[in-house]
Amino acid sequence: MKGPPSDTDFMRLALAEARQAGERGEVPVGAVLVRGEQVVASGGNCPIAAHDPSAHAEIVTLRAAGQALGNYRLDDTVLYVTLEPCLMCASAIVHARVRRVVFGAFDPKAGAAGGIIDAFAIKGLNHRVDVFGGVLEEECAALLSGFFAGMREP
């Protein structure tokens, strides 16, 4: 008998969102927000199509979750995202009061969960987020590297 969904199960859903983003020509990053065992919202990167520099997968998902729950505070939720959040997304996650972030691939160039900065550890923030990285890391990283390799090919 299968137990409750695991971090890996939810990351697979985020990977599906990332693949869809990649098929649309966006950088393939996907996110899923969960409360308990229920998916509240999901989304993928869409800054190109939306003409919106803030339309990262995390922001798209947080916005959809706020609408679905009728509240900008997303208490007791977990955000699964295929790439380590950037500083903009980390700040939005803190302000939304997300309880936990689980990410796949680390981002040494823009990551704000330890990559270049750990925004979640800044003293004085009014909310603490539990962060865990590396879930399905190889699969998440391969999706991104494959996308960028395809862009470099003639």
* 139 noted as active-site residue: no
CA dist 83 → 3, 4, 72, 103, 124 (Å)? 26, 24, 23, 6, 25
Q: Which residues have a Cβ under 8 Å from the Cβ of 93 and sit 6 or more positions away? A: 58, 62, 79, 85, 101, 120, 129
Among the options 23, 26, 37, 58, which is catalytic? 58
User: Please, which residues have CB within 8 angstroms of residue 42's CB and are 6 or more apart in sequence?
Assistant: 13, 14, 17, 30, 31, 32, 33, 61, 64
Cβ neighbours for 59, distance < 8 A, ≥ 6 positions apart = 88, 89, 92
Distance in angstroms (rounded) separating the CA atoms of residues 5 and 105: 20
Could you list the active site residues? 58
